[in-house]
Structure 1
Amino acid sequence: MKPDLRTALALKPRVGDGAMATYLYQLGLPVGVSFEEFNLLKPDVIADVHRRYANAGAEIIETNTYSAQHNKLSRYGLEKKTEEINAAGVAIARRAVGQEAYVVGSIGAVRGGAGKNVRTATVKRDFEEQVGALLAAGVDGLLLETFFDLEELSLALSIIRKKSDISVICQFAVEDAERTHDGIPLPEAFRRLKGEGADVVGFNCRSGPNGILRAVETLPRDLGLPLSVFPNAGIPDYVDGKVVYSATPEYFASSAIRFADAGARLIGGCCGTTPEHIAAIAKALQNYSPVQIAKAPAEAPEVRQSIDVASDLSEPQSDIPPTELEPSIVDLVRERHTVIVELDPPRDLDIAKFMAGAQALKEANADALTMADNSLAVTRMSNMALAALLKERVGIRPLAHIACRDRNLIGTQSHMMGFDALGIDHVLAVTGDPAKFGDLPGSSSVYDLTSFEIIRMIKQLNEGIAFSGKPLKQKAKFIVGAAFNPNVKHLDKAIQRLERKISAGADYIMTQPVYDPELIVRIAEMTKHLSVPIFLGIFPLASGRNAEYLHNEVPGIQLSDSVRERMSGLEGPVGRAEGVKIAEELLDVAMEHFNGIYLMTPFMAYEMTVSLTEYVKKKSAHLTSVN
């Protein structure tokens, strides 16, 4: 007879299961429906998913009841079936795995995303109804997952403890590695939950293994509770109309050992994970022996490009008046080496660090600063506003990304008209990461336009024609860029896709970062027939962990084995120095084949891209004098 769940988690690391909703999506089931209703409509499909995870080695199986609450089910007219759906979820899981695995009832937050304004009385009612149904159906434990705020998680836990002494796992979804969404330091939040009766505390969703490991490492080892971790399979990408994840099962296997060493006793997967990921975790933990490791200092939260950090710098004021920014970036790159540097807008209202970085890059003679449009679907300051400030205060050319995700046709044309009025004429058209995986998961991805269509529509404004086909009173002057990911198995197919973007009207190309000199040469050879210039992406690595995160979790980025080896174990100034050195070596190759260089700033460490901009300018001057 197996021990109860509380005892089992205290003995050794246990394997949790993986995603339900995203896995059903991968199996071909539609989105925009209630996956919890499948407990009634497609019970055999749900049972099959549970069996697949159990066969992969999962010892804890979650019921398909994450959103099976009155308020959420009411969106589909299912609120009167709340108890039935929850009971069916438990019965399906139990039938699928029998007594071989623990069945825990999954309960998601009622608030969060678009539900922030749900009244406390409604939240309480929904938790009481769902908890009662799951307990009555005979679960082995309850899993409170993807909670953003301590207060709501505490309320759900208190309702459970009034009804039962059952094992309870409490998991936050965090963006900041040190505190909850409502600003409570994580150690304080977990100690409070422990005092209120939580048996296990931890994290799920929002981040891949790297981000959740950072959060785990901020916790003191004296919490006195087992930890649980259920990371996503990296950052989702939107490819050909489908959401895909990049983190491999092999990466999850190595991450499982790091989690176990850091104190985790329940390790599974969230969005994007599959039975293959869980099988890799189970195999990695099969003969696991705990080791004592030193606690690493926490670094900045994971991001694909740059994040803002606290700064006491005052906002720089340039004595350079606004200038006519001619010739265009396309004209420049046809004549000489030209540097575009990415500097992401801040996630709060403090622009001091951003403006200081912009000023430093201006002084380093960067030719343009490019700003993402809420990259990774994380809310940032408007790049339109910052682009205007760059022109006015710094005197450097802004280049703004335009994502298809956030605006419908009306909003997109309005947005472009605003850029034209401000004299901001350089843009990069991108698809945009899906909204549901950002910091406001209740928001919608619009995608009225594809990246091909948005290029055509923006170039249509240059003809003085609105998106509707009606004439405008004057013509816009947009220089439109397109994104290109060369880190793919079939480069020829990626180039064919790129040719379509050029046919749609793209004036220049900006690539994802490349870390392989041989690939740089291949790209040059295979794109020499193209009629538009290419800005080759170079992203200096900040640390060994940063390198592994980018390689395993970020769509469109692949590091060479030699680069990963060189960065392995390097942190802090030593890691950044090696990252710059590697970038310089890549630039040596890139500048032989491309005039366009696109530098990305990691963790808002603009000193790194300032150094690399100066390197390009100095090397370019030398090459010019030699020739």
Structure 2
Amino acid sequence: MKPDLRTALAMRPMVGDGAMATYLYQLGLPVGVSFEEFNLLKPDVIADVHRRYAAAGAEVIETNTYSAQHNKLARYGLEKKTEEINAAGVAIARRAVSEDAYVVGSIGAVRGGAGKNVRTAIVRRDFEEQIGALLASGVDGLLLETFFDLEELSIALGIIRKQSDISVICQFAVEDPYRTHDGIPLADAFRRLKGEGADVIGFNCRSGPNGILRAVETLPSDLGLPLSVFPNAGIPDYVDGKVIYSASPEYFATSAVRFADSGVRLIGGCCGTTPEHIAAIAGALKNYVPATERSAQPVKVEAAEPIAVQVAEVTKPPVTPSEPSIVDLVRERHTVIVELDPPRDLDITKFMAGAQALKDAQADALTMADNSLAVTRMSNMALAALIKERVGIRPLAHIACRDRNLIGTQSHMMGFDALGIDHVLAVTGDPAKFGDLPGSSSVYDLTSFEIIKMIKQLNEGIAFSGKPLKQKANFIVGAAFNPNVKYLDKAVQRLERKIASGADYIMTQPVYDAELIERIAEATKHLNVPIFIGIFPLASGRNAEYLHNEVPGIQLSDAVRQRMSGLEGAEGRAEGVKIAQELLDVAMAHFNGIYLMTPFLAYEMTVALTKYVKDNSKNYAPRA
């Protein structure tokens, strides 16, 4: 007879299963329906998913009941079938897997996302109904997953403990590695849930392995209970009309060992994960030996000198309209655009210091994203105006299609024109539901092609509506290009459409392969607009693996990943700068445009690289 789940988890790391909804989507099932209703309509399909995860090595199987609650099922007219759907979910899982597997009832938050304003009475009603149905169906445990706020999780846990002593796993969804969405320090939240009867506490969704590992590492070592993690397979991306996740099974295998070393006892996957990811986790943990018992010798790396930057007082005048544009400059010489992320809080001190340091290093423009990765940051319009006025460096603002409708987009662009900010980069923008405010909407009134056309229309003195604007704007509009794809020729064809829409210049995603830079040069030599090659210096080995496995549009070469492996701190930053310099040597031979991205506001790195370009550009003839 198998031990109960809490006992099993105390003995060794165990393997959980992977995603249900996103995997069903990958298998071709439609979106916009209740996947939980498939317990009644397509039980064989759900059973097959359970079997695949069990065959991959999953020891803990979640029922297909995550949203099987009265309030959520009511959106599909299914609220009267709540108990039936939950009971069917348990029965399907039981039939699909062996008796040795643990079947846990999956329960999602009633609030969170679009349901955050649901009244407490409704929350309690929904939890009581679902929990009662799952317990009556004979689950081995209950999994409270993707909870944003401590109070709601506490309500659900309290209802369970009034009815049963069953094993309970509680999981938060967080972006901040130190606190819950309602601002409670994670250590305090974990201690409270432990006191209220939780057997296992951890994290799932919202983040890939890197983000969740950061949260695990912030926890104190004296919590005294097992941890669980079910990370996403990186950040989702839209490719050819489909949502895809980039984190590989191999990356999950490496991450599983790191999680186990950090004290995690249940490791599975959330959005974007598949049986292949679970098989990789199971393989990595099959003969797991704790880090304290492993005898691998540490890699010795010579300490690097930190890169020092002297920040001078701001005394230089702002950019004047008479200056040549970025397009004018890059046609004549090597030209450097540097990206500096707006802060996520209200402190702009480090951002402004970085802007000044990059100005002193002779960067030609400073570019700021528009809430990249759908994470809320300070307005890039405000910061663009500040650096233009106080620092005297040219601002280049990103404009995302995600956050504004047609009205807001035109208003935004008119504001830029009034401020004399005339260089922009038009991008689609990452979906809002994967950012730090998952309940917000993604607008997408415009595609990246359409927004380029609309902005260029303002240059004709014509509003989006077709009405005259009395005078003309003077926007220089850039477009984004991702060359890290399997078929570069198709990506170039898409780029040609952006140029046909009116793009004046191109900025690429980061490139980490010298050979790819040469291929890009060959594939784009027929284009009549300048291209700025993206170079993103790596800050550490962990940073390298995160970018490669979790961030859409970024691919690192095996050689670069090997060089960064195990490096952290000053050693990691120094090696990251060295790799970037080697890539710059290739890039400057083929392109006049250089686009540097600053990791974690570590502007010392991009200051050093900007100086490297300026000091070495004389060795390369400018490209025509």
Settle same-fold status: TM greater than 0.5.
Answer: yes
2:331 counterpart SS class: helix
Q: Partner residue of 2:423? A: 426
Check if 1:446 corresponds to 2:416.
Answer: no
**Structure 2 counterpart of 1:512, one-letter code:** Q
**Structure 1 counterpart of 2:586, one-letter code:** V
Check if 1:201 corresponds to 2:198.
Answer: no
Check if 1:191 corresponds to 2:191.
Answer: yes
Q: Partner residue of 2:7? A: 7
Check if 1:324 corresponds to 2:318.
Answer: no
Check if 1:490 corresponds to 2:487.
Answer: yes
Q: Partner residue of 1:304? A: none
Q: Partner residue of 2:584? A: 587
Q: Which moved more, 1:614-623 or 1:503-512?
A: 614-623
Q: Partner residue of 1:70? A: 70
**Structure 2 counterpart of 1:50, one-letter code:** H
Give structure 1 stretches of 5+ with no counterpart.
295-312
1:405 maps to which of 398, 402, 407: 402
Shift, 1:71, TM fit? 2.6
Shift, 1:429, TM fit? 1.2
Q: Residues 620 and 42 of structure 1: is their aligned pair in 2 closer, same or farther, counting only changes over 3 Å?
A: same
2:291 counterpart SS class: coil
- Contact map agreement 1:377 1:437 (CA 8 A) in 2: yes
Check if 1:548 corresponds to 2:545.
Answer: yes
Once residues 473 and 47 of structure 1 are traced to their aligned partners in structure 2, the CA distance between those partners, rounded to angstroms, is 64
Check if 1:247 corresponds to 2:262.
Answer: no
**Structure 2 counterpart of 1:73, one-letter code:** L
Percentage identity across paired residues of the two chains: 87
Q: Partner residue of 1:610? A: 607
Q: Residues 560 and 314 of structure 1: is their aligned pair in 2 closer, same or farther, counting only changes over 3 Å?
A: closer
Check if 1:287 corresponds to 2:284.
Answer: no
Shift, 1:79, TM fit? 2.9
Once residues 591 and 621 of structure 2 are traced to their aligned partners in structure 1, the CA distance between those partners, rounded to angstroms, is 14
Q: Partner residue of 2:148? A: 148
Q: Partner residue of 2:378? A: 381
Q: Partner residue of 2:341? A: 344
How many residues are matched? 607
- Contact map agreement 1:436 1:444 (CA 8 A) in 2: yes
Once residues 316 and 348 of structure 1 are traced to their aligned partners in structure 2, the CA distance between those partners, rounded to angstroms, is 24
- Contact map agreement 2:321 2:420 (CA 8 A) in 1: no
Once residues 184 and 293 of structure 2 are traced to their aligned partners in structure 1, the CA distance between those partners, rounded to angstroms, is 27
Give structure 2 stretches of 5+ with no counterpart.
295-309
Q: Partner residue of 1:298? A: none
CA RMSD of aligned residues (A): 2.1
Q: Which moved more, 1:77-86 or 1:575-584?
A: 77-86
**Structure 2 counterpart of 1:42, one-letter code:** K
- Contact map agreement 1:261 1:293 (CA 8 A) in 2: no
**Structure 2 counterpart of 1:357, one-letter code:** G
Shift, 1:293, TM fit? 7.8
TM-score (norm 2): 0.93
TM-score (norm 1): 0.93
1:367 maps to which of 356, 359, 364: 364
Q: Partner residue of 1:177? A: 177
- Contact map agreement 1:143 1:170 (CA 8 A) in 2: yes
Q: Residues 526 and 319 of structure 1: is their aligned pair in 2 closer, same or farther, counting only changes over 3 Å?
A: closer
Check if 1:132 corresponds to 2:129.
Answer: no
Superposed CA offset, 1:386-441 (max 9, x none): 22222222222111111122222332222222222222211111111111111111
Check if 1:527 corresponds to 2:524.
Answer: yes
- Contact map agreement 2:142 2:166 (CA 8 A) in 1: yes
- Contact map agreement 1:515 1:538 (CA 8 A) in 2: yes
Q: Partner residue of 2:59? A: 59
- Contact map agreement 1:314 1:352 (CA 8 A) in 2: no
Shift, 1:142, TM fit? 0.5
- Contact map agreement 1:316 1:352 (CA 8 A) in 2: no
Q: Which moved more, 1:237-246 or 1:41-50?
A: 41-50
- Contact map agreement 1:400 1:427 (CA 8 A) in 2: yes
Q: Partner residue of 1:299? A: none
**Structure 2 counterpart of 1:170, one-letter code:** C
Q: Which moved more, 1:559-568 or 1:415-424?
A: 415-424
Superposed CA offset, 1:329-381 (max 9, x none): 10110011111111111112222221221122112211111111111111112
Once residues 171 and 322 of structure 2 are traced to their aligned partners in structure 1, the CA distance between those partners, rounded to angstroms, is 51
- Contact map agreement 1:316 1:356 (CA 8 A) in 2: no
Shift, 1:621, TM fit? 4.8
Q: Partner residue of 1:101? A: 101
Q: Residues 582 and 81 of structure 1: is their aligned pair in 2 closer, same or farther, counting only changes over 3 Å?
A: same
2:455 maps to which of 454, 458, 482: 458
Shift, 1:579, TM fit? 0.9
Superposed CA offset, 1:117-172 (max 9, x none): 33322222222222112112211100011112222222211111111100000111
Once residues 179 and 285 of structure 1 are traced to their aligned partners in structure 2, the CA distance between those partners, rounded to angstroms, is 29
1:104 counterpart SS class: strand
Q: Residues 110 and 385 of structure 1: is their aligned pair in 2 closer, same or farther, counting only changes over 3 Å?
A: same
Q: Partner residue of 1:278? A: 278
Shift, 1:12, TM fit? 1.6
- Contact map agreement 2:588 2:620 (CA 8 A) in 1: no
Q: Which moved more, 1:248-257 or 1:216-225?
A: 216-225
Q: Which moved more, 1:246-255 or 1:122-131?
A: 122-131
- Contact map agreement 1:238 1:431 (CA 8 A) in 2: no
Once residues 438 and 447 of structure 2 are traced to their aligned partners in structure 1, the CA distance between those partners, rounded to angstroms, is 21
Once residues 189 and 384 of structure 2 are traced to their aligned partners in structure 1, the CA distance between those partners, rounded to angstroms, is 39
**Structure 2 counterpart of 1:545, one-letter code:** R
Shift, 1:317, TM fit? 5.6
